[in-house]
Every structure is written in C-alpha cells, then in structure tokens.
Amino acid sequence: MNLGFRLQQELSFLLKSRAMLGALLLLLVVSSGSVALGLAYVSQEREKIEELIVLDTQERDYKRTLAVDYGGAAYDAFHAAWNAPSDLAFAAIGQRDLNPTMMRVRALALEGQIYETDSINPELALAGRFDFAFVSAYLLPLIIIFAFYDLFASERESGRLNLLSVSAQNTRSLWVPRILFRVLGIALAGLVPLWLGMLSERTALGSAIGVSLAVLLQILFWTVLVLLIASRSAFRSETAASISVGMWVVLTLAIPIAGKVYIESSVAGIKGAEVSLVQREVVNDAWDLPISDTMNAFYASHPEWADSPPITGVWHWKWYYAFQQIGDETAAELAREYRESIVARDRLTAAVAWLSPAVAIQRRLEDLAQTNLEASFAFEDEVRGYHEKIRRAYYPVLFREIPFSQERLAQIVIPDFQISQKSGEGD
Amino acid sequence: MTECALRANELDVIRGNKTVLSSMSFEVKKGEVFALLGGNGAGKSTTLLTFMGLLKPNGGTAEVFGHTAALEPAAVREKIAYLPENAALYEHLNAWENLNYFLSLSQARPQQSTLRAALDAVSLPEESRGRPLNSYSKGMRQKVAIALALLRETPVLLLDEPTSGLDPAAVEDFHNIIERLSSKGVAILMVTHDLYGACQVAHRVGLLRAGELVDVFEAGADGSVDITAVRDLFLQQQVA
C-alpha cells in the first residue's frame, strides 16, 4: 500500500486543476470579505455604543444643570440602552439589522420609543446583509455544486472512466480521496477566514465549535446531495449541473420564498408602527380630556400614587407622565399581540428550516451569535425593565410634589443600562 | 500445457434489445497475442469491458486466470492493464504526472528511472515529457498511455485499437513492444480494425461479426497470420 503516495497524487491533481482552484479562491475571497465586513460592522457598533454612552452622559449632566423642575429634568434626560454585539455577531448579523441595538430612552411613553425604528428598517430587511451566514447559506452550496456536479460524468464523457476503473484497485480508492480533498478544500476556503475572525473576536470555544460544525454539516449535506445526482450514470454533466442548480433554487430560494408567503398570509401581521400609533393617539387625545379623567384612570391602575395631591391648575408634569404611561398601557395588549405574531412567524420559519438548509444554517448561526429573535426580544425586555427603573426614579418627586432643588435632583440616580451578560458560548 | 490467461465461455451480452455478443467463446494463453478483428458494432470493445468486469454479461463468463470478471472485479483488475482507444489521460497534466497519478490508483509507486525507461520504450521525446498533454499530438498521447500499460506490469494486457493515431514508425515500435511482452509471458487481447497490424503481430486472429466469433486464424510457421485469408473473410463480412 502506498497511501501516502496516493494522497500526494490526489492533492497534486487538485492543485493542478485551475477551475477547482479558481472556485476555491473565489470562496476564500467571498468568505474573507464577509468576515471582514462583519468585523467592521461589529467594530463600528461597539464604537457607536462607546460614543453613545459618553455623549449621552455629557448631555444628561448638562441638561440637569439647566433643569428648573423634576418633570422637565426627566423630559430632557435620555438614557442610553444598547445591545452590544456578541463575540460571534460578526458572522451572523441576523436580527441586529432589523431591530434596534442602540436606543435612548426617557421617562415618556415607551412603546413609541421602542418601535420608532420600524419605519426605517424595511430598507435594511430588503437588502439583507452580506455576512458569513449568507455566504454559508447561499454561495457555499454553489461552490459545492461546481466541485462535484461532473465528478463522474466528466470522466465518462472524456472516455477516461474505464481506464480509471481498471487502474484503481477498487472504487473507493479512486473516488474517496478525490472527494475528500475537494471537501477539505471547500471547508478550509470557507472556514479559515471565519476562524481568523473568531480568533480576533476571541470567540468562546463552544461557539467556535458550534459554528464550524454547522458549516461542515451544510457542506456534508450539499456534497451528498450533489454526489447522489452526479453518480447517476444516465446523467450527462450538463444534466447533473441543471438538476443540482435546480435543487439549489428549490432549497435556498423557492422554499424560503414560498414559506415566507405562506407565513405572511397565515399569521396576521401587526406592525410595530401600529403600536406606536395607538400609544400616540392616547397621548394626543389626553390633551383634550379633563385632567381628572386621566388621573383617575392612572390612579386606578397605580394606586400607590393615588394619595398624590390633586391637580388644581391646567398643567402638571405628573399629569403629563400619567397620560404617557396610560398610552403605554393602552398599547400594551397590541404590543403583546405584535410580539406573539412575530413569535408565531418565527416558529413557522423554524419549520421551514427543516425543508431548507439555507434557512436552517442561517438560523443556527444566528442562534449561536445571539443575533436571533430571542436575543432581540431579550434586549427589548431589558429596555422595558430599564425604562421602568427610570420612571420609578422620577415618580416619587413628581407625585409627592417634592419641592425642586438641584441637590434633590442630584439624589435621583439612575444606574447605567446593564444588559444581562452574554455568555457568548452558544448552547 | 500453457496456462490459460483469458477465457470467454459462451458469453452473451444484450444491451437494450440488441444482442452485442452471442455465445462467444475463446481462450488466450500466457504469452499469446490474440487479435479480435471486426467492423464497427461487432462487439470488440464490449468484449474488453466484459473482461474488465465493467459490464456484466447476460450469459456465460469472462475469466481472467480463473477469476470470473463479473464476480471478482478487483481480483481481475489486479491482473489487467488496459489501453483505451483514445488515450484518455488528463490533458492538464504532463506525461510524468499522468503516469504517477494513474499508477497511484493501483497503489504502485514507481521510481523516476522506471517511468523514464517506459517513456523511452515508447519513444516519447524527452523534451515533451514535462509539457501538459493538451500540447501533444494524438500519437504522443497514445505513447504515454502505452507507457502506462507497460508500467502496470500485469500478466494480461487488453488493447483497444492500440495503433490508432500512431505514425508508421511508432506502430513498428509498438509491435516490437507487444512481441517483447509476449515473449515475457504476457497474455494480450487486442481488438482492432487494423487488419494488417493484427495479422503481423498476433498469434491468432479472430473475426467478429455482429457479436459472433465467426472464425479464428492461426499464425503460420513464419509467425504471421495469413493476411489474404483473413482479408477475404473480413471483406465478405463487411459486404454482408
């Protein structure tokens, strides 16, 4: 047995194939490009977060020096909240493109603040993000098709298959090394840029292994599928190519699109902007209602402030904040429905993933990178909790009608936003 | 008694509705050169494919040193070297690389000097050996394929139109190689259109017509098969 010589010859054979080398180089370039863009994206996000924190604090401190009452101080005090990218977010931007990752919240009605970005994000959703998940889902299978569609047919059509078959001791020794080297080349061209990216991000080992396995599984799936097609002796190379590309169209385009159409038609869609609109309408209507109507409604749901002195004039900050909160509470049911509809769509998308490896790998990478819907909702929940802290910090001085002083204002300390520490370890 | 290297025993091959080989029987002994002569579609290449275990016969057996090709293809292929009609080697590789690649498939690891000797034996010009085969003439490619067959050093050689595309000098060289191998005990089954070449080099010439072996001519005392008798029957057959 001269296995070493056999492998050396097969490697040399691969390296002499210009078409295959070109395909591997293309994959390497595309994969590197996606990783570089992803790294630039997360780096930019982190810089923006740093900048936001500094500027936010500076502005809040400055505005406080100008404050003449607590209500005005709360009105002007924006508090930064952010969802820092995980150590794998560069590979799968996921929901970070669609949902806010940085916000400035204040004690006013929250729903409008949360959903205001819904009016601009469809443009991003339409274009999609060129990230490593995209390369793995859509481009990687095309390279695999190119590598294997004519593996057998090209030998048959050139009249070489009989000579190869007679020369080889068995079929395995002929095809297995050739297939293995191509798979290895594809895996390295696809994964090495990702590994370098993970090294620079100090990605947790668990996530690194998880994402590598997901990509290898994707390579394995497509390799087996294309080889099954290519091994049909009745198929000429162009037939095998057409069927393989047809499978790619079905599995990566047709099924996800059909799934999307089905999901959109079967799950009633509520827009985030509708939640904002309901909340805004309540807030706007409140200006025309008697103050007592608003306050009675507020005290009914927040009895802890019911002993607050009655409002005698035409304006009071506590009335203003009361109708802001009622606006939120009125929109709460719709906001819950909105989230439920998104969750329902996400569940159906997860079902589509069983039929489409492209959807499956994107979702898996987003899960590992914590850029999935769950992570997005977790951030939203953190923001809601933080906003509640801001309200609770100002409500005592507003509803107890504590006389304003800078000293008392200085005692209102709202801690910086803290998101639950991301584990970065995937599952 | 000389050992039988190849034996076709009542071989029947049917492809689709067409009978390609019909009750074909013959033997090739060690050191013997047996040429199968026939027109297009006579079943020449099918016979070779059956002996290589690449085609299962519908009836009968093709045996190589007692191993049935359809049942023991690996054992059979160990003993066979094959020279296809169109030297289908890799165009982007040079002669050395082609030889090394194909030999690695049979787990052989030849020395560079062995490769050189084989290429010298087929008279492939030294300066062309490092160039990719896409710069070769058909005859030069055929020479590399012949060198590959020689390097396998198997006891059986199957040749499919071996002199196709070779110039007269190369044909003469090739015949010399065949005679040398035959004298070393290699059994050679050659299928060809080349009436003159077959009669010159073969110990026996079989005439194939529509899958049937219609006659076999033996070489005379001068070592050649009587070309006139073979030609007459061959031409009759072509007209028929």
**pLDDT tens digit sequence for A230-278:** 998 778 999 999 999 999 999 999 999 999 899 888 887 667 777 778 8
Find the helix packing angle between A18-66 and A3-16, rounded to 10°: 70
- Return the half-sphere exposure (C-beta side, CA atoms, 13 A cut-off) of residue A254: 7
Among all chains, which residue has been given the structure tokens 């107890």? A400
Q: What angle do CA B96, B102, B105 make, to 5 degrees?
A: 140
A10 touches chain B (CB under 8 A): yes
Chain B contact set for A16 (CB, 8 A): 92-93, 97
How far is CA B173 from its chain centroid? Answer: 16
**Cα separation of A208 and A218, whole Å?**
16
Question: Mean pLDDT highest for which of A186-200, A314-328, B197-211?
Answer: A186-200
**Residue B88 vs residue A263, higher pLDDT:** A263
**pLDDT tens digit sequence for A344-391:** 999 999 999 999 999 999 999 999 999 999 999 999 999 999 999 999
- Residue A423 pLDDT greater than 70, yes or no: no
Chain A: closest CA distance from residue B17 (Å)? 18
Q: What are phi and psi of A70, to 5 degrees?
A: -70, -40
| Percentage with pLDDT > 90 across chain A | 63
pLDDT for A2 equals 74
- Residue A222 pLDDT greater than 80, yes or no: yes
Among all chains, which residue has been given the structure tokens 């159906």? A348
Chain A: closest CA distance from residue B187 (Å)? 17
Closest in A2, A5, A163 to B84, CB measured: A163
| Percentage with pLDDT > 90 across chain B | 52
| Percentage with pLDDT > 70 across chain A | 94
- Residue A102 pLDDT greater than 60, yes or no: yes
When the pLDDT of each residue in chain B is averaged and rounded to a whole number, the result is 89
Pairing of strands B187-192, B156-160: parallel
Closest in B88, B97, B105 to A173, CB measured: B105
| Spatial contact of A167 and B76, defined as CB atoms under 8 Å apart | no
Chain B: closest CA distance from residue A151 (Å)? 14
pLDDT for A422 equals 46
- Residue B228 pLDDT greater than 60, yes or no: yes
Helix (H, G, I), strand (E, B) or coil at A204: coil
Q: Do B84 and A170 touch (CB under 8 A)?
A: no
| Spatial contact of A318 and A71, defined as CB atoms under 8 Å apart | yes
How far is CA A49 from its chain centroid? Answer: 17
Query: Is the CATH number 3.40.50.300 carried by domain B4-79+154-239?
Result: yes
Per-residue pLDDT, averaged over A49-60, amounts to: 93
Q: Say if residue A68 is exposed, middle or buried (CB neighbours under 10 Å; 0-12, 13-18, 19+).
A: exposed
B123 φψ region: left (φ > 0), alpha (ψ -120 to 50), beta (else): left
- Residue A103 pLDDT greater than 80, yes or no: yes
pLDDT for B225 equals 80
| Spatial contact of A164 and B105, defined as CB atoms under 8 Å apart | yes
**For residue A290, how many other CB atoms are within 10 A of its CB?**
9
Closest in A8, A159, A169 to B106, CB measured: A169
Per-residue pLDDT, averaged over A95-116, amounts to: 84
Helix (H, G, I), strand (E, B) or coil at A82: strand
The pLDDT-based confidence of A426 (bands split at 50, 70, 90) is very low
**Cα separation of A200 and B110, whole Å?**
46
Per-residue pLDDT, averaged over A128-147, amounts to: 93
The pLDDT-based confidence of B131 (bands split at 50, 70, 90) is very high
pLDDT for A424 equals 38
| Spatial contact of B77 and B53, defined as CB atoms under 8 Å apart | yes
B113 touches chain A (CB under 8 A): no
When the pLDDT of each residue in chain A is averaged and rounded to a whole number, the result is 89
pLDDT for B136 equals 92
Chain B: closest CA distance from residue A18 (Å)? 9
The pLDDT-based confidence of B240 (bands split at 50, 70, 90) is low
Per-residue pLDDT, averaged over B35-54, amounts to: 90
- Nearest C-alpha in A relative to B108: A2
What is the 3-state secondary structure of chain B? CCCEEEEEEEEEEEECCEEEEEEEEEEEECCCEEEEEECCCCCHHHHHHHHCCCCCCCEEEEEECCEECCCCHHHHHHCEEEECCCCCCCCCCEHHHHHHHHHHHCCCCCCHHHHHHHHHHCCCCHHHCCCEHHHCCHHHHHHHHHHHHHHHCCCEEEEECCCCCCCHHHHHHHHHHHHHHHHCCCEEEEEECCHHHHHHHCCEEEEEECCEEEEEEEECCCCCECHHHHHHHHHHHHHC
B108 touches chain A (CB under 8 A): yes
Helix (H, G, I), strand (E, B) or coil at A414: coil
**Cα separation of B24 and A162, whole Å?**
22
**Cα separation of A318 and A325, whole Å?**
10
Per-residue pLDDT, averaged over A34-47, amounts to: 96
Domain locations in chain B?
A: 4-79+154-239, 89-153
pLDDT for A138 equals 95
**Cα separation of A128 and A247, whole Å?**
22
Of the listed ranges A84-88, B4-8, B197-201, the least confidently predicted one is B197-201
Helix (H, G, I), strand (E, B) or coil at A423: coil
pLDDT for A427 equals 34
Q: What are phi and psi of A374, to 5 degrees?
A: -60, -45
Chain B: closest CA distance from residue A6 (Å)? 5
| Percentage with pLDDT > 70 across chain B | 97
pLDDT for B238 equals 63
**pLDDT tens digit sequence for A170-203:** 788 889 999 999 999 999 999 999 999 999 999 9
Chain A contact set for B104 (CB, 8 A): 2, 5-6, 8-10
- Nearest C-alpha in A relative to B83: A163
The pLDDT-based confidence of A1 (bands split at 50, 70, 90) is low
Chain A contact set for B90 (CB, 8 A): 13, 160
Residues 6+ apart with CB under 8 A from A390: A74, A77, A79, A105, A106, A107, A414
Residues 6+ apart with CB under 8 A from A5: B104, B109
